[in-house]
Amino acid sequence: MRIGELAAQAGLSRDAIRFYEKIGLVTGRRLANGYRDFPPEEVPWLQYVRTAQALGFSLAEIAQTREELREQPDTAAALSALFAEKIKVIDARMTQLAALRAELDARVGTGCPLRAAG
């Protein structure tokens, strides 16, 4: 299918698909007339990309999971493992952000918020 049809079915812009192609998230072939041609299985993959991004996964993480998921006989179990790992990353980041917030809070009203708190 051409890029416009793929974009319509996946709910993305043509520019987004071109970008994903550039970074290797999707692959298409060039027809003799120069148009891009994508296989139909790219539609569910692009929908997965959108959902994964909404869940906080980076494009690099998404690209990595594509290869991992292709090799997994049970993708539900593989996805659950990826989600559990992402939760650990989020929890660690939340701890870091809480410490940062406490540090900033301690500096409020000190006259010079860049001076060491104490």
| Distance separating alpha carbons of residues 82 and 80, to the nearest angstrom | 5
| Amino acid 118: pLDDT | 58
Question: Residue 114 contacts by C-beta under 8 Å, 6 or more apart in sequence?
Answer: 107
Residues 28-78 pLDDT 10s: 899 999 888 999 999 999 998 999 999 999 999 998 888 777 677 677 888
76 within 8 A of 84, measured Cβ to Cβ: no
- Residue 49: burial class (beta carbons within 10 Å; 0-12, 13-18, 19+): buried
- pTM value is 0.73
**Of 58 and 109, which is predicted with more confidence?**
58
pLDDT surpassing 90 at residue 14: yes
